[in-house]
Amino acid sequence: MTSLPETFLEYQAEAAVIGAGHAGCEAALALARTGIKTALLTLNLDSIGFMPCNPSIGGTAKGHLVREIDALGGEMGLVADKTALQIRMLNVGKGAAVQSLRAQSDKNAYHREMKKTLENTENLRIMQAEASEILVENGKCAGVRTTHGGVIECKAVILCTGVYLNSETITGSLVCPSGPNGFARATYLTENLQKLGFRIRRFKTGTPARLDGRTIDYSKCEIQNGDTDIYPFSFMHDTPPENKLPCYLTYTNLTTHEIILKNLDRSPLYNGVIQSTGPRYCPSIETKVVRFKDKERHQIFLEPEGADTLEVYAQGLSTSMPHDTQREMYSSVAGLEHADIVRYGYAIEYDCIDTLDVLPTLEFKKIEGIYTAGQINGTSGYEEAAAQGLMAGLNASLKLRGLPPFTLRRDEAYIGVLIDDLVTKGTDEPYRMMTSRAEHRICLRQDNADFRLTQKGYEIGLVKQDRYERYLARKEKYERLLDSLQTRVGQKQSAVFLEKYGYDAPSGSVSYADMLKRSVPLKDIIEYFDVFKDFPKDVRETAEITVKYEGYLKQGLELIERAKRLENKLLPPNVDYYSIAGLRLEAQEKLDRVRPFNLGQAGRISGVNPADVSVLMVWLATQSGL
């Protein structure tokens, strides 16, 4: 590593964001839009808002995150709607809590739209530069130094470095010092972060090959069209994006699996070249074939990368096999027999941090004013990164404005679940958001994200007046519809209608709400009784869910209130856990490391069991009696 040049003052800002991926974009916008003079540093302007892996936004649980980002005044949902090639609702056959939006994105258009948004945002300066050092004075952030010697003076830094820290791409036996997609990597910052007290770890992810769409035989694949009768990501848009291009579905087969198994000794995942931890929930095709030997095939989705390119992303065929093996493997799949590979798949290893060193505000525990967001925190996925970037940017802004921090509880948002998992439990592998992680998911649906969060976003200054007025208007219509659903229908008329659904004639009049509780679809009620047609579809859907799942929602709220009792029992910040009699040694070590804020968080720490929480409750009672 060569020596760096002398420093010079390049810019005076209040905050700096390092990295312009999905975390960095949201962090920079949250800062600038709340009046903070912000510098956004990126290794390459062409990588702003870039999608180095799958060209999509949303998915199971990830769609929830995007709508929450939007409800708080973030940008991802707006750009996703504007640049979608198609949009679908996943899990439509399941309950409302787990239904998730997913858009196939035009990756180049997404990058351009996000870059244009950043460039036209007041209080924000974009700079192509590599950060080499976080400057610290008296235990507080003082600025950022670049590899060219420029210093950006600031009081807050948000680290959104993605997979670029000391990254290496790996294909077969070839290991290259490179970021994703051939972009340059960040070489200098890791050493500085270690000196500042960050615990560095090494994670890995991967990507499949990109194919020439002209050489794919789509007649051998199943077409996957988008949906039309759904809502968009952003609450600022009234209709979903136009479906412009289809996706296709095909499958691996036993021949594909045989090719992989006979070449395992050449796989970096199995011959020792890759030592880092990869994602459990988005494994390579090699891992899937080895782990699930009983499966005769695995799904492969063929997804267009954009309207202006013929490149097709083969989702489900992520691999780091040598190029010749990739060619043989891909050509064994139905529809891909003659497909040309234009970009080969690869694995990428990178440095990230241990998030047990981070507060719920995403601020570093050891130095004031340094925040982390995105894949540097060990997460995977654009949506998880954007959610953290938004929260880190907001908290940095609030601190600079002398205002209280902003955090979300697990019962308030998927964002709250995500960040609480990271800072309370930590992660030993790339973390992915899933609906199963949210214990209160019946209350944390996509459709009600604005009802849960927009008022909060308005109060902290990120939600602007136009969005707030749309929220108030939707809320008023929703409440009016709930009242209208209590309207009762005469016994004779309701009997004729309900008999169609196998119900006996009621003894008296029946309300529309009662019909919904009997699983009669609202759309059928609207059509038969000619009512509620003036209410927007999204309002009708939220009201229908509220009435239909009233019992479950009531139970969910009771669980939330019960959990709040523990959340309200605060733990002093200077507790000596090793001195509390009755705590197991493992619990003492974990509690001392995490330093939980309350009993609820303490109980979620890995290695702390209910008996330990009981000990803490007794100890708190004795302290309050002193």
How much helix, strand and coil, in percent to the nearest 5, is found in the chain?
40, 20, 40
CATH number for the domain running over 568-624: 1.10.150.570
Strand ranges in 188-293 using DSSP code E only, listed in sequence order: 200-207, 210-212, 222-224, 247-251
Strand ranges in 510-573 using DSSP code E only, listed in sequence order: 510-511
Q: Average pLDDT for residues 83-109, to the nearest whole number?
A: 96
Q: Average pLDDT for residues 78-104, to the nearest whole number?
A: 96
Do 246 and 226 touch, CB atoms closer than 8 A?
yes
Find residue 133's DSSP bridge partners: 145
Q: Which two tokens stand for residue 66?
A: 């995007």
pLDDT value, residue 90: 96
pLDDT value, residue 287: 93
Residues 557, 595, 592, 568: is their CA dihedral positive or negative? negative
pLDDT value, residue 311: 98
Q: pLDDT confidence of 626, banded at 50, 70, 90?
A: very low
Find residue 200's DSSP bridge partners: 353
Do 352 and 178 touch, CB atoms closer than 8 A?
no
Q: pLDDT confidence of 1, banded at 50, 70, 90?
A: low
pLDDT value, residue 279: 81
**Every domain of the chain and the residues it spans:** 8-203+352-454, 210-349, 464-558, 568-624
Do 467 and 235 touch, CB atoms closer than 8 A?
yes
CA atoms in the 13 A half-sphere facing the CB of 11: 21
Residues 6+ apart with CB under 8 A from 181: 47, 50, 52
Q: Which two tokens stand for residue 213?
A: 């769409």
Residues 527, 530, 536, 540: is their CA dihedral positive or negative? negative
Do 478 and 470 touch, CB atoms closer than 8 A?
no
Place of tokens 């340059």: 184
pLDDT value, residue 131: 98
Q: Average pLDDT for residues 431-454, to the nearest whole number?
A: 95
Q: Which two tokens stand for residue 110?
A: 């997404």
pLDDT value, residue 4: 74
Q: Which two tokens stand for residue 223?
A: 């077409």
The residue type of 407 is: T
Fold match between domain 8-203+352-454 and domain 568-624: no
Do 312 and 303 touch, CB atoms closer than 8 A?
yes
Place of tokens 């929260």: 391
What does the DSSP 8-state code read for residue 266?
G
The pLDDT tens digits for 604-625 are 998 899 899 999 999 988 886 5
The pLDDT tens digits for 297-334 are 999 999 999 999 999 999 999 999 999 999 999 999 99
The pLDDT tens digits for 504-517 are 888 899 999 999 99
Q: pLDDT confidence of 278, banded at 50, 70, 90?
A: confident
Architecture of domain 464-558: Orthogonal Bundle (1.10)
Which of 395-427 are b and which e, b meaning 16 or more Cβ less than 10 Å from the residue's Cβ?
bbbbbbeeeebbbbbbbbbbbbbbbbbbbbbbb
Q: Average pLDDT for residues 248-265, to the nearest whole number?
A: 97
Q: Average pLDDT for residues 565-571, to the nearest whole number?
A: 90
| Closest residue by Cα to residue 502 from 522, 523, 519, 525 | 519
Evaluate whether the domain defined by 210-349 bears CATH number 2.40.30.260.
Answer: yes
Q: Considering the chain, what percentage of its residues have pLDDT values greater than 70?
A: 99
Place of tokens 């995403």: 362
Tell me phi and psi for residue 365, to 5 degrees: -65, -30
Rg of the Cα atoms in the chain? 26
Fold of 8-203+352-454: FAD/NAD(P)-binding domain (3.50.50)
The pLDDT tens digits for 171-201 are 999 999 999 999 999 999 999 999 999 999 9
Whole-model pTM: value is: 0.95
